[in-house]
Structures are given as C-alpha cells and as structure tokens.
Structure 1
Amino acid sequence: MISDLAGLIDLVPLPAIPAVLLALFFIAAELGFRYHRRFGGEGGAEDESQVLSTALLVLALLLGFTFSMALSRYDERRQLVVQEANDIGTAWLRAGLVAAPHGPALQNALADYARIRVTSPLPHETEKLARAAALRNRVWAITATAQATLDGPRATNLVSAVNAVLDTGTQREKAVAARVPGEVMLLLVIFACVACFLLGYMLDAHGHQHRFASGILFLLMGLTIMLILDLDRPADGAILVDQSAMEALVASLAPAGG
C-alpha cells in the first residue's frame, strides 16, 4: 500500500510537481483554517505557534536530509561516469600492447562497450542491460585468452585494467538504479501537508489567513521538493549527469574500433 502510494510520485512529470504540491498545500491550509474555526481549542495562539514552529523545524530537517541524500547519489553518478571513461581508456591502451589478433580484438570489444556505456542503462532498459552484460563477457573472454600470451607483469596489468572496467560498469548501473526511497519522499510530502494544516490552524487563531504570504511559502516548498526529485531522477528533468567524459572517450576510440 505504502509502496504503491510512493510510486505515484514518479508518475507526476517534474514541471507539474510545484503546481500539484501547491494545490495540496493550499487544501491542507484551508482545512486548518476551517478546523480551527469549528473545533478551535482553548489554548492561546502562543501555544499553537510553538507547535507550528516545531513542525516547521522537523520539516526543514526532513528537506535537508532528503536533499543531501539525493545530491550524494547524483554526485556518485557523476563521478562514476568519469571513472568508467578513465578505466575503459586505460584498458584500451594496455590492450594495444598485446600482439595481434588478441590485442586489436580486445580494443574493438572495448570500443563497442564504450559506445553502449555513453549513457548507463536504466533499470527498465533490460535489452540494453543485457547487451552491456554480453559485451562485458566478451571483453573478459578475450582478456583471458590474451593474458596467456603475455609475461607475468604485463598479464597482471592487463587483467587489472579490464577488471576495473567491469567493476566500474556494475557500480555505475547500481548507482543509476539507486534512488531516494519512495517511502521517504511520501513521508516528506505528507509531513509538508501536515505543516501546512498547522499553519492554517495557527493563522486562523491569530485572525489573519495571509493567503498570499502562505502561497509564496508553499511555492518555495514545492520547488524544493521538485529540485530533490530532479536530482534523484537520472533520466529526466533539468539536472542530468554530464556524459561528456564518455562521449569524448567514444570519439577517441572510434578510429580503432571501426
């Protein structure tokens, strides 16, 4: 049930996130207005303000922690692009030291692999993931044959370089698939709605609803959550991982791979 509700967040396009959240926050605040008018307690407005301050503080902590989580995952994806490009380039150069036919064959296999790795496959791209796995098996099979023709140090260097390529490829696929848990995002949205409800409740206790000022606050909250989702989604949105390192590598390997 909770997982199904959390999955609904991914169905909302990023540009629509602020508008959807703004509507939810206004509804929650309006419910707070009406609830206080009908069931307003005997406590003073000062007591209600303290409850609201506590709720907003916890919301700020949740926003900060979730933003930090999404940013760290984005940064990991970015670093792995550069690392994979470096690893493939190193393995390609070391394969050039292997005599024909194994050296050129390994270089061609690495060039083919680099082309499919320009963008790391997403979890739902099963065909692309299977192709990448097949190319990794091909690269390793050629390496196993090629290292038998080399002396100890050169064989070790070649195997180490190719092994780094395979390991980084797997790490990058896992990093792309890793997302901020949907349950965390759902809790964040729910808690933001609760804070808006309390804000409406407290403002009505003071006798002023301040819808314009509240709207600005709600919009900023919606934009912040949209930014978190933008960082967390690897394939869409305005904040995408720079793939230029892999693109430059593919361009440099094209003559050898052709």
Structure 2
Amino acid sequence: MSYQAWLDSLSIGEIFIVFVLGGAVIAECGYRIGRWWQFRTPGNKEGPTQMLVGSLLGLLAFLLAVTMGMASDRFDTRRGMIVTEANMIGTAYLRAGFLPDAEAAKSRSLLREYAPLRVLADHPQDVPQRIARSLELHEELWTIAETLAHSMPESVVLSLYIDALNEMIDIHESRVTAGIYGRLPATIFILLLISSVLTLSMVGYSAGLTGRRSPPTAVVMIVVLGAVITLLLDLDRGRGGLITINQQPLIDLQQSMDADFERNTLQDD
C-alpha cells in the first residue's frame, strides 16, 4: 500500500490525534535528553540552541506556507473541474437530442448512468471501479457517434454533438489526473514531517537545557502545528474530512436528467 492510500484510509480526526500524541512524545523526549545533557555537563552553557530553535520554527513556518499555497491551488482546480464537467455532460445530453430517435434515447440513457459516476466517491476503494465504468461508457457513446458519423458525414448538428462528447471525455481525464496523480508529492510531506520532528525535539531539548518549560505553551504549539498539517492533508484529499469539494453541480445535473427522462416517458405514454 502506498503512503497516499494509507493516509486516505485514515480519517482526518485520526491523523490529528496521531500527530498530537506523537508530537507530545517527541517534545518530551527532547526535554529529557536536554535535562540529561545538562546534568552530565553542568559547566557547559546553553550555546546557540535558542537561535537554532528560532531558525527551525521560521523554516517550518515557511514550508507550511508554501505547502498550503500548493494544496489550495490544487483544491481550487479540482473544485472548478466539477462545474466544468457538469456543464459539459449537460451540453452533451442536450445535444444528444440532435441524433436520430433510437441513438438519442440510447445516448441519453448512457449519459444518465454516467453522471452519478462522476460524483466524488466517499470511499477511495470505489474510485477504480467508477473510473473503469466511466471509460466503458465513453466507448459506448463514442461508438454510437462514430457509427452515425459514417452514415451522416456532413451533418452539422452531429458535429456539434461529437464536439460536446469529445470535451466531456477530455475533462474526465483532466479530473482523474488532478484527483489521483495531481496530489501533493510524498517528498513534501516527508520534509514537513522531518521538520516538525526536529523542531519539536529541539524545542523540548532547549527547555531541558534551561530547566524551564511551560506545558500549556508546548501543548498549544503541538495542537496548532497538528491542525495546520491536518488541514493540508484535508485540502489535498478533498473528501471525507472537514473540507470537501462541493458535488452539487453534478447532483443537480443528475436530477435534471432524471426529471427530463420521466417527463419524456409520461409524454410517450
């Protein structure tokens, strides 16, 4: 299992709790090492430890700011694609009415099945199955359009439908790329984790050297740091957490297509 799949299998609350508990343990270990070193070498002064702690805190803040910007940009891109895809599926559905009756009915039926598949899955394990079925529907829709293109090569309205269908297929690949392959690189999270561990351990170590520490201050720092990193993971995931990508445009489209189907069915009866 990849690190991304493992992280996605955990809830946002579980990630936050694990980080806070781990951060508290690391800070405490740093404090105890600092006290041990101070007792072992009582004549040595603290040295540049405070300066090093300040530098590490500044570096960590910089990394968090840069990573937050990257995660926000990716989140906004995925959110914008929802509206774009809903519009493209809706356009293809409307233009399918240009086709002959049998092909129009078949194409619209496939599009009604396709729209719910594009709603973001609640469970990561459902994603491959949805993508596979989406690709199958692409082939079926394109086969219908290709067959009509051979029999109606000069049809302008068929050309409009094919353009809409082609754009719908393209946005599918864009969403897959942005949602699965466009996540934040593992290197960034590893760097954040290493920086957090070093910073918390050095904060505890510095407190151990001086013999003075403030548990409430340490707890607040660990909780805030854990909240920010958890927020980054939540933004990068885009589902199943406190921050989710609104799927309402696709849901509204699905409801509109179902209502249109029911209305046409009543008219036929």
Output the TM-score relative to the length of structure 2.
0.84
* Residues 121 and 149 of structure 1, relative CA distance in 2, 3 Å threshold: farther
Alignment of 1:142-221 (within 5 A): 142-147=144-149, 148-149=151-152, 151-178=154-181, 179-221=183-225
- State the 1:34 CA deviation: 2.0
Unaligned ranges ≥5, structure 2: 263-269
- Which residue pairs with 2:245 in the alignment? 241
| Contact preservation (8 Å) 1:28, 1:196 | yes
More deviation, 10-19/197-206: 10-19
How many residue pairs match? The answer is: 255
Distance 2:7 2:156 in 1: 53
CA shift in 2, pair 1:8/1:43, >3 Å:
farther
Secondary structure at 2:101 match in 1: coil
Measured against aligned partners, the alpha-carbon deviations of 1:16-70 in whole angstroms (never above 9, x if no partner) come to 223221222222222222222233474545x211111111111112212222222
* Structure-2 separation of matches of 1:18 and 1:123: 20
AA at the equivalent of 1:137 = E
Counterpart AA for 1:110: L
Alignment of 1:1-258 (within 5 A): 9-40=7-38, 42-44=44-46, 47-119=48-120, 124-125=125-126, 126-147=128-149, 148-149=151-152, 151-178=154-181, 179-257=183-261
Structure-2 separation of matches of 1:79 and 1:226: 23
What is the root-mean-square deviation of aligned Cα atoms in Å?
2.5
With normalisation by structure 1, the TM-score equals 0.87
Whether the aligned pair in 2 keeps the contact of 1:98 and 1:150 (CA below 8 Å) is no
Q: Does the 8 Å CA contact 2:46/2:210 hold for their aligned counterparts?
A: no
Q: 1:33 is matched by which residue type in structure 2?
A: Y
* Distance in structure 1 (CA, Å) of the matches to 2:157 and 2:190: 53
CA–CA distance in structure 2, aligned partners of residues 5 and 117 of structure 1: 25
Percent identical residues: 27
Distance 1:7 1:200, change over 3 A: farther
Residue identity matched to 1:140: W
- Matched-pair contact (CA < 8 Å) for 1:92–1:107: yes
1:146 maps to amino acid: L
In the TM superposition, residue 71 of structure 1 has moved relative to its aligned partner by: 1.9
Residues 93-132 of structure 1 show CA distances to partners (whole Å, capped at 9, x for unaligned) of 1121223222232222222211322336976433322211
Q: Which amino acid aligns with 1:162?
A: L
Q: Partner of 2:79: helix, strand, or coil?
A: helix
Range 185-194 or range 84-93, more displaced:
185-194
Shift in alpha-carbon separation, 1:130–1:153, aligned structure 2, 3 A = same
Unaligned runs of 5+ in 1: none
Q: Distance in 1 between matches of 2:168 and 2:122?
A: 16
Partner AA of 2:237 in structure 1: R
Provide the rounded CA distance (Å) in 2 between the counterparts of 1:118 and 1:244: 9
